Amino acid sequence: MFPKRVASLQFSGIRKLFEAAPADAINLGLGEPDIQPPREIIEAFKNALDRGMNKYGPSAGIMELRKAIAENLKSYRRDVAAENIIVTVGATEGMRIACETILGEGDEALVPNPGFIIYGPDVALAGGKAIDYTLKLENGFCPDPDEIQSLITPRTKAIIVNSPSNPTGAVYSDAVIKAICDIATDHDIYILSDEVYHNFVYEGTHTSFARYHDDTIIVNSFSKSLAVTGWRIGYVATSKEIVEHLAKVQYYTLACPPTATQYAILEGMKIRKQFRAKMLAEFKARRDLAMAKLSKMPSFETPPVQGAFYVFPKYSQGLRSEDFAMTLLKAGVICAPGAAFGSLGEGHLRFSYANSRENISAALDIVREVAEKL
Ligand SMILES: Cc1ncc(COP(=O)(O)O)c(C=O)c1O
Protein backbone atom coordinates (compact mmCIF):
# COMPACT_ATOMS: atom_id res chain seq x y z
CA MET A 1 0.00 0.00 0.00
CA PHE A 2 1.23 3.45 -0.86
CA PRO A 3 0.55 6.36 1.47
CA LYS A 4 -2.62 8.30 0.71
CA ARG A 5 -0.76 11.53 -0.14
CA VAL A 6 0.92 9.67 -3.03
CA ALA A 7 -1.80 7.17 -3.97
CA SER A 8 -4.32 10.01 -4.35
CA LEU A 9 -2.16 11.90 -6.87
CA GLN A 10 -3.28 11.67 -10.47
CA PHE A 11 -1.70 12.62 -13.75
CA SER A 12 -3.42 15.68 -15.13
CA GLY A 13 -6.36 15.27 -17.49
CA ILE A 14 -4.43 17.26 -20.06
CA ARG A 15 -1.69 14.70 -20.36
CA LYS A 16 -4.17 11.87 -20.92
CA LEU A 17 -5.79 13.79 -23.72
CA PHE A 18 -2.55 14.76 -25.44
CA GLU A 19 -1.50 11.15 -25.59
CA ALA A 20 -4.59 10.36 -27.68
CA ALA A 21 -3.97 13.18 -30.19
CA PRO A 22 -3.66 12.43 -33.92
CA ALA A 23 -0.27 13.45 -35.32
CA ASP A 24 -1.66 16.24 -37.55
CA ALA A 25 -3.90 17.86 -34.91
CA ILE A 26 -3.38 21.60 -34.30
CA ASN A 27 -2.14 22.07 -30.79
CA LEU A 28 -3.94 24.75 -28.80
CA GLY A 29 -3.15 22.84 -25.65
CA LEU A 30 0.42 24.08 -25.30
CA GLY A 31 1.55 25.46 -21.97
CA GLU A 32 4.77 26.86 -23.41
CA PRO A 33 5.86 29.39 -26.04
CA ASP A 34 6.05 27.73 -29.46
CA ILE A 35 9.22 29.67 -30.31
CA GLN A 36 12.85 28.76 -29.65
CA PRO A 37 14.97 30.68 -27.10
CA PRO A 38 17.32 33.47 -28.22
CA ARG A 39 20.38 32.18 -30.09
CA GLU A 40 22.69 33.99 -27.64
CA ILE A 41 21.63 31.88 -24.69
CA ILE A 42 21.99 28.62 -26.59
CA GLU A 43 25.57 29.71 -27.34
CA ALA A 44 26.04 30.69 -23.69
CA PHE A 45 24.87 27.21 -22.65
CA LYS A 46 27.39 25.57 -25.00
CA ASN A 47 30.14 27.90 -23.75
CA ALA A 48 29.36 27.06 -20.15
CA LEU A 49 29.78 23.37 -20.93
CA ASP A 50 33.07 24.07 -22.73
CA ARG A 51 34.28 26.18 -19.81
CA GLY A 52 33.85 23.19 -17.49
CA MET A 53 30.62 24.16 -15.74
CA ASN A 54 29.73 20.51 -15.47
CA LYS A 55 29.97 20.07 -11.72
CA TYR A 56 27.78 20.59 -8.65
CA GLY A 57 27.10 24.19 -7.71
CA PRO A 58 25.73 25.89 -4.60
CA SER A 59 22.37 24.53 -3.32
CA ALA A 60 20.69 27.92 -3.63
CA GLY A 61 22.08 28.54 -7.13
CA ILE A 62 25.11 30.40 -8.47
CA MET A 63 25.64 33.78 -6.82
CA GLU A 64 25.89 35.69 -10.14
CA LEU A 65 22.40 34.58 -11.14
CA ARG A 66 20.93 35.22 -7.69
CA LYS A 67 22.39 38.74 -7.82
CA ALA A 68 21.05 39.37 -11.33
CA ILE A 69 17.56 38.19 -10.34
CA ALA A 70 17.63 40.37 -7.22
CA GLU A 71 18.69 43.37 -9.29
CA ASN A 72 15.77 42.77 -11.60
CA LEU A 73 13.33 42.64 -8.68
CA LYS A 74 14.39 46.01 -7.31
CA SER A 75 11.41 47.55 -9.08
CA TYR A 76 9.21 45.52 -6.67
CA ARG A 77 11.26 46.14 -3.54
CA ARG A 78 14.39 48.21 -3.20
CA ASP A 79 15.88 46.13 -0.37
CA VAL A 80 15.97 42.83 -2.29
CA ALA A 81 19.43 41.18 -2.38
CA ALA A 82 20.95 37.91 -3.63
CA GLU A 83 20.23 36.33 -0.21
CA ASN A 84 16.51 36.80 -0.90
CA ILE A 85 16.72 34.55 -3.95
CA ILE A 86 17.01 30.81 -4.41
CA VAL A 87 17.38 29.40 -7.93
CA THR A 88 15.08 26.41 -8.43
CA VAL A 89 14.37 23.78 -11.04
CA GLY A 90 11.50 25.71 -12.56
CA ALA A 91 8.51 27.16 -10.75
CA THR A 92 7.25 23.61 -10.35
CA GLU A 93 10.01 22.71 -7.92
CA GLY A 94 9.94 26.21 -6.43
CA MET A 95 6.25 25.87 -5.52
CA ARG A 96 6.82 22.38 -4.18
CA ILE A 97 9.66 23.30 -1.82
CA ALA A 98 7.88 26.49 -0.78
CA CYS A 99 4.86 24.42 0.32
CA GLU A 100 7.08 21.93 2.13
CA THR A 101 8.92 24.74 3.86
CA ILE A 102 6.01 26.76 5.17
CA LEU A 103 3.20 24.24 5.71
CA GLY A 104 2.97 22.04 8.77
CA GLU A 105 0.83 18.91 9.11
CA GLY A 106 -2.83 19.92 8.74
CA ASP A 107 -2.12 23.55 7.87
CA GLU A 108 -4.47 25.05 5.31
CA ALA A 109 -3.57 26.87 2.11
CA LEU A 110 -6.15 28.64 -0.04
CA VAL A 111 -5.89 27.68 -3.72
CA PRO A 112 -7.67 29.01 -6.82
CA ASN A 113 -10.42 26.97 -8.47
CA PRO A 114 -10.07 26.86 -11.43
CA GLY A 115 -6.32 27.05 -11.07
CA PHE A 116 -3.03 25.60 -12.20
CA ILE A 117 -2.89 21.89 -11.48
CA ILE A 118 0.11 21.70 -9.12
CA TYR A 119 -1.17 23.76 -6.17
CA GLY A 120 -3.51 21.21 -4.55
CA PRO A 121 -1.03 18.30 -4.85
CA ASP A 122 1.84 20.49 -3.60
CA VAL A 123 -0.14 21.41 -0.50
CA ALA A 124 -1.16 17.78 0.06
CA LEU A 125 2.40 16.46 -0.39
CA ALA A 126 3.53 18.91 2.27
CA GLY A 127 0.95 17.45 4.66
CA GLY A 128 -1.37 20.44 4.35
CA LYS A 129 -4.97 20.87 3.27
CA ALA A 130 -5.94 22.80 0.13
CA ILE A 131 -9.07 24.94 0.50
CA ASP A 132 -10.53 26.24 -2.75
CA TYR A 133 -11.45 29.85 -3.45
CA THR A 134 -13.43 30.54 -6.57
CA LEU A 135 -12.54 32.42 -9.72
CA LYS A 136 -15.78 33.35 -11.43
CA LEU A 137 -16.25 34.35 -15.03
CA GLU A 138 -18.57 37.19 -14.00
CA ASN A 139 -15.70 38.68 -11.92
CA GLY A 140 -13.35 38.41 -14.89
CA PHE A 141 -11.87 35.33 -13.14
CA CYS A 142 -10.47 37.56 -10.37
CA PRO A 143 -10.62 36.39 -6.75
CA ASP A 144 -13.21 37.92 -4.46
CA PRO A 145 -11.38 39.26 -1.37
CA ASP A 146 -14.55 38.84 0.75
CA GLU A 147 -14.66 35.15 -0.08
CA ILE A 148 -10.95 34.79 0.73
CA GLN A 149 -11.53 36.53 4.05
CA SER A 150 -14.41 34.15 4.83
CA LEU A 151 -12.25 31.06 4.20
CA ILE A 152 -9.53 31.97 6.66
CA THR A 153 -9.35 29.84 9.81
CA PRO A 154 -6.77 29.60 12.59
CA ARG A 155 -5.10 26.85 10.48
CA THR A 156 -4.68 29.03 7.36
CA LYS A 157 -1.00 29.46 6.64
CA ALA A 158 -0.95 30.71 3.04
CA ILE A 159 -2.94 32.03 0.11
CA ILE A 160 -1.71 30.76 -3.25
CA VAL A 161 -2.27 33.26 -6.05
CA ASN A 162 -1.49 33.28 -9.75
CA SER A 163 -1.68 36.45 -11.81
CA PRO A 164 -1.48 36.44 -14.83
CA SER A 165 -3.40 33.24 -14.50
CA ASN A 166 -3.33 29.79 -16.00
CA PRO A 167 -5.91 28.68 -17.14
CA THR A 168 -7.99 31.87 -17.28
CA GLY A 169 -5.61 34.53 -18.66
CA ALA A 170 -6.88 37.01 -16.05
CA VAL A 171 -4.57 39.69 -14.66
CA TYR A 172 -5.70 40.88 -11.23
CA SER A 173 -6.21 44.58 -10.67
CA ASP A 174 -4.09 46.50 -8.20
CA ALA A 175 -7.15 46.92 -5.99
CA VAL A 176 -7.76 43.15 -5.79
CA ILE A 177 -4.07 42.46 -5.15
CA LYS A 178 -3.94 45.06 -2.41
CA ALA A 179 -7.16 43.79 -0.79
CA ILE A 180 -5.80 40.21 -0.67
CA CYS A 181 -2.49 41.48 0.71
CA ASP A 182 -4.30 43.42 3.43
CA ILE A 183 -6.14 40.25 4.47
CA ALA A 184 -2.86 38.31 4.55
CA THR A 185 -1.20 41.05 6.61
CA ASP A 186 -4.13 41.21 9.07
CA HIS A 187 -4.03 37.45 9.61
CA ASP A 188 -0.25 37.15 9.48
CA ILE A 189 -0.23 34.58 6.69
CA TYR A 190 1.95 34.02 3.67
CA ILE A 191 1.09 34.81 0.10
CA LEU A 192 2.57 32.28 -2.27
CA SER A 193 2.53 34.07 -5.58
CA ASP A 194 3.08 32.16 -8.80
CA GLU A 195 4.21 34.85 -11.24
CA VAL A 196 5.52 32.74 -14.12
CA TYR A 197 3.49 34.78 -16.63
CA HIS A 198 4.68 38.16 -15.31
CA ASN A 199 6.17 38.95 -18.74
CA PHE A 200 2.91 38.22 -20.54
CA VAL A 201 0.72 41.21 -19.72
CA TYR A 202 -0.84 42.85 -22.78
CA GLU A 203 -2.55 45.84 -21.18
CA GLY A 204 -1.10 47.70 -18.22
CA THR A 205 1.77 46.30 -16.20
CA HIS A 206 2.38 43.35 -13.94
CA THR A 207 1.98 43.99 -10.22
CA SER A 208 3.61 41.59 -7.81
CA PHE A 209 1.91 40.71 -4.55
CA ALA A 210 5.31 41.41 -2.94
CA ARG A 211 4.61 45.10 -3.43
CA TYR A 212 1.93 45.10 -0.73
CA HIS A 213 2.73 42.19 1.59
CA ASP A 214 6.09 41.53 3.26
CA ASP A 215 5.49 37.82 3.77
CA THR A 216 5.12 37.13 0.08
CA ILE A 217 6.92 34.20 -1.47
CA ILE A 218 7.32 34.87 -5.19
CA VAL A 219 7.62 31.76 -7.33
CA ASN A 220 8.85 32.52 -10.81
CA SER A 221 10.63 30.96 -13.73
CA PHE A 222 12.47 31.55 -16.98
CA SER A 223 10.50 28.78 -18.69
CA LYS A 224 8.01 31.06 -20.39
CA SER A 225 9.88 34.38 -20.42
CA LEU A 226 12.91 32.97 -22.26
CA ALA A 227 11.04 30.12 -23.98
CA VAL A 228 13.18 27.50 -22.22
CA THR A 229 10.63 25.23 -20.54
CA GLY A 230 12.95 22.26 -21.02
CA TRP A 231 15.87 23.91 -19.23
CA ARG A 232 14.09 23.87 -15.88
CA ILE A 233 15.33 27.04 -14.23
CA GLY A 234 13.20 29.22 -11.99
CA TYR A 235 13.51 30.97 -8.66
CA VAL A 236 11.83 31.82 -5.41
CA ALA A 237 12.18 35.33 -3.99
CA THR A 238 11.30 35.91 -0.35
CA SER A 239 12.81 36.71 3.06
CA LYS A 240 16.38 35.65 3.77
CA GLU A 241 15.15 33.40 6.58
CA ILE A 242 12.77 31.48 4.31
CA VAL A 243 15.44 31.24 1.59
CA GLU A 244 17.77 29.55 4.10
CA HIS A 245 15.11 26.95 4.89
CA LEU A 246 14.26 26.51 1.20
CA ALA A 247 17.93 25.89 0.44
CA LYS A 248 17.99 23.02 2.94
CA VAL A 249 14.87 21.42 1.48
CA GLN A 250 16.28 21.92 -2.01
CA TYR A 251 19.60 20.37 -1.02
CA TYR A 252 17.87 17.20 0.16
CA THR A 253 15.70 17.17 -2.95
CA LEU A 254 18.19 17.76 -5.75
CA ALA A 255 21.55 18.86 -4.29
CA CYS A 256 21.65 21.93 -6.53
CA PRO A 257 20.06 23.35 -9.66
CA PRO A 258 21.91 22.47 -12.89
CA THR A 259 25.09 24.53 -13.18
CA ALA A 260 25.65 25.18 -16.91
CA THR A 261 22.02 26.11 -17.47
CA GLN A 262 22.24 28.81 -14.84
CA TYR A 263 25.13 30.48 -16.70
CA ALA A 264 23.06 30.42 -19.88
CA ILE A 265 20.10 32.01 -18.10
CA LEU A 266 22.45 34.65 -16.70
CA GLU A 267 23.24 35.60 -20.29
CA GLY A 268 19.53 35.56 -21.05
CA MET A 269 18.89 38.14 -18.37
CA LYS A 270 20.99 40.61 -20.38
CA ILE A 271 18.89 40.30 -23.51
CA ARG A 272 15.52 39.40 -22.06
CA LYS A 273 14.00 42.85 -22.65
CA GLN A 274 14.43 42.75 -26.44
CA PHE A 275 13.29 39.13 -26.56
CA ARG A 276 10.26 39.92 -24.46
CA ALA A 277 9.23 42.91 -26.57
CA LYS A 278 9.19 40.80 -29.73
CA MET A 279 7.40 37.88 -28.12
CA LEU A 280 4.83 40.11 -26.42
CA ALA A 281 3.84 41.89 -29.64
CA GLU A 282 3.31 38.56 -31.39
CA PHE A 283 1.35 37.03 -28.50
CA LYS A 284 -0.85 40.11 -28.23
CA ALA A 285 -1.76 39.80 -31.91
CA ARG A 286 -2.56 36.13 -31.32
CA ARG A 287 -4.70 36.97 -28.30
CA ASP A 288 -6.63 39.52 -30.36
CA LEU A 289 -7.13 37.00 -33.15
CA ALA A 290 -8.34 34.28 -30.79
CA MET A 291 -10.72 36.67 -29.03
CA ALA A 292 -12.11 37.96 -32.34
CA LYS A 293 -12.80 34.41 -33.52
CA LEU A 294 -14.30 33.25 -30.22
CA SER A 295 -16.56 36.30 -29.97
CA LYS A 296 -18.30 35.11 -33.14
CA MET A 297 -19.28 31.80 -31.51
CA PRO A 298 -22.67 32.30 -29.85
CA SER A 299 -22.40 29.21 -27.68
CA PHE A 300 -19.10 30.42 -26.17
CA GLU A 301 -18.74 33.12 -23.56
CA THR A 302 -15.18 34.39 -23.50
CA PRO A 303 -14.36 37.24 -21.12
CA PRO A 304 -11.61 39.63 -22.20
CA VAL A 305 -8.22 38.61 -20.86
CA GLN A 306 -5.05 40.61 -20.43
CA GLY A 307 -2.33 38.07 -19.73
CA ALA A 308 -0.59 34.70 -19.99
CA PHE A 309 -1.43 32.94 -23.28
CA TYR A 310 -4.75 31.28 -22.61
CA VAL A 311 -8.42 31.92 -23.15
CA PHE A 312 -10.94 30.03 -21.05
CA PRO A 313 -14.40 30.24 -22.67
CA LYS A 314 -17.51 28.87 -21.04
CA TYR A 315 -19.65 26.87 -23.45
CA SER A 316 -23.37 26.25 -23.41
CA GLN A 317 -23.34 22.75 -24.92
CA GLY A 318 -24.27 20.50 -22.03
CA LEU A 319 -21.41 17.99 -22.23
CA ARG A 320 -18.45 17.38 -19.96
CA SER A 321 -15.33 19.35 -20.85
CA GLU A 322 -13.31 16.18 -21.28
CA ASP A 323 -15.86 14.88 -23.81
CA PHE A 324 -15.93 18.22 -25.61
CA ALA A 325 -12.12 18.29 -25.76
CA MET A 326 -12.09 14.70 -27.03
CA THR A 327 -14.60 15.59 -29.77
CA LEU A 328 -12.40 18.51 -30.81
CA LEU A 329 -9.36 16.29 -30.74
CA LYS A 330 -10.98 13.89 -33.19
CA ALA A 331 -11.80 16.88 -35.41
CA GLY A 332 -8.11 17.91 -35.34
CA VAL A 333 -7.75 20.44 -32.48
CA ILE A 334 -6.03 19.83 -29.19
CA CYS A 335 -7.22 21.89 -26.23
CA ALA A 336 -7.39 21.34 -22.48
CA PRO A 337 -10.67 20.42 -20.76
CA GLY A 338 -11.60 22.99 -18.12
CA ALA A 339 -12.22 20.28 -15.51
CA ALA A 340 -8.47 19.54 -15.49
CA PHE A 341 -8.09 22.82 -13.56
CA GLY A 342 -10.57 22.04 -10.80
CA SER A 343 -14.29 21.43 -10.36
CA LEU A 344 -15.17 25.00 -11.33
CA GLY A 345 -13.35 24.61 -14.62
CA GLU A 346 -16.06 22.21 -15.77
CA GLY A 347 -18.08 23.73 -18.62
CA HIS A 348 -14.98 25.53 -19.94
CA LEU A 349 -12.25 24.76 -22.44
CA ARG A 350 -8.75 26.18 -22.29
CA PHE A 351 -7.26 27.25 -25.59
CA SER A 352 -3.61 28.27 -25.61
CA TYR A 353 -2.58 30.75 -28.28
CA ALA A 354 1.07 29.72 -28.11
CA ASN A 355 0.81 28.73 -31.76
CA SER A 356 1.06 30.53 -35.11
CA ARG A 357 -1.71 32.90 -36.14
CA GLU A 358 -2.40 30.66 -39.10
CA ASN A 359 -2.87 27.64 -36.84
CA ILE A 360 -4.97 29.57 -34.32
CA SER A 361 -7.24 30.72 -37.11
CA ALA A 362 -7.59 27.26 -38.68
CA ALA A 363 -8.10 25.56 -35.30
CA LEU A 364 -10.78 27.98 -34.14
CA ASP A 365 -12.63 27.54 -37.46
CA ILE A 366 -12.76 23.82 -36.67
CA VAL A 367 -13.92 24.59 -33.12
CA ARG A 368 -16.77 26.74 -34.53
CA GLU A 369 -17.88 24.00 -36.90
CA VAL A 370 -17.82 21.35 -34.15
CA ALA A 371 -19.58 23.64 -31.66
CA GLU A 372 -22.36 24.40 -34.14
CA LYS A 373 -23.05 20.71 -34.65
CA LEU A 374 -23.17 19.76 -30.96
C1 LIG B 1 0.82 28.94 -13.61
C2 LIG B 1 2.01 28.07 -13.81
N3 LIG B 1 2.88 27.92 -12.81
C4 LIG B 1 3.98 27.15 -12.94
C5 LIG B 1 4.24 26.49 -14.10
C6 LIG B 1 5.47 25.62 -14.19
O7 LIG B 1 6.52 26.34 -14.72
P8 LIG B 1 8.02 25.78 -14.76
O9 LIG B 1 8.30 25.34 -16.14
O10 LIG B 1 8.84 26.95 -14.36
O11 LIG B 1 8.13 24.68 -13.77
C12 LIG B 1 3.36 26.60 -15.18
C13 LIG B 1 3.60 25.86 -16.43
O14 LIG B 1 2.74 25.74 -17.28
C15 LIG B 1 2.22 27.42 -15.03
O16 LIG B 1 1.34 27.58 -16.02
In a structure prediction context, what are the per-residue pLDDT tens digits for the chain, which is 374 residues long?
899 888 988 887 677 777 778 889 999 998 899 999 999 999 999 999 999 999 999 999 999 999 999 999 998 778 899 999 999 999 999 999 999 999 999 999 999 999 999 999 999 999 999 999 999 999 999 999 999 999 999 999 999 999 999 999 999 999 999 999 999 999 999 999 999 999 999 998 899 999 999 999 999 999 999 999 999 999 999 999 999 999 999 999 999 999 999 999 999 999 989 999 999 999 999 999 999 999 999 999 999 999 999 999 999 999 999 999 999 999 999 999 999 999 999 999 999 999 999 999 999 999 999 999 98
Looking from the CA of 106 toward its CB, the CA atoms found within 13 Å total: 3
Instruction: Report which protein residue has its CA nearest ligand 1's atom 16.
Output: 166
- Domain at 4-36+272-373, CATH from 3.90.1150.10, 3.40.640.10, 3.40.47.10, 3.40.50.2300: 3.90.1150.10
Interval between CA 310 and ligand 1 midpoint (Å):
13
Residue 13 is predicted with a pLDDT of 64
CB of 88 closer than 6 angstroms to any ligand 1 atom? no
Instruction: Report which protein residue has its CA nearest ligand 1's atom 14.
Output: 31
The letter for the amino acid at 150 is: S
* Every domain range in the chain assigned CATH 3.90.1150.10: 4-36+272-373
- Domain at 39-271, CATH from 3.30.460.20, 3.40.50.10490, 3.40.1190.20, 3.40.640.10: 3.40.640.10
**Which residue among 69, 223, 236 has the greatest number of ligand 1 atoms within 8 angstroms of its CB, and so is best to mutate?**
223
CB of 168 closer than 6 angstroms to any ligand 1 atom? no
Give the bridge partners for 234, in sequence order: 88, 221
Instruction: Report which protein residue has its CA nearest ligand 1's atom 7.
Output: 91
Q: From the alpha carbon of 220, which atom of ligand 1 is closest?
A: 10
Task: Classify the C-alpha dihedral 149-154-155-158 as positive or negative.
Answer: positive
Interval between CA 72 and ligand 1 midpoint (Å):
20
Interval between CA 299 and ligand 1 midpoint (Å):
30
CB of 156 closer than 6 angstroms to any ligand 1 atom? no
* Every domain range in the chain assigned CATH 3.40.640.10: 39-271
Interval between CA 292 and ligand 1 midpoint (Å):
27
Distances (CA, A) of 255 to 146, 218, 230, 241: 42, 21, 19, 19
Q: From the alpha carbon of 116, which atom of ligand 1 is closest?
A: 1
Interval between CA 87 and ligand 1 midpoint (Å):
15
Task: Classify the C-alpha dihedral 47-50-54-59 as positive or negative.
Answer: negative
Interval between CA 168 and ligand 1 midpoint (Å):
14
List of long-range contacts for 277-283, beta carbons under 8 Å, 24+ apart: 279/33, 279/35, 279/199, 279/227, 280/199, 280/200, 280/202, 283/33, 283/200, 283/202, 283/309, 283/353, 283/354
Interval between CA 95 and ligand 1 midpoint (Å):
9
The letter for the amino acid at 20 is: A
pTM attached to this predicted model: 0.96
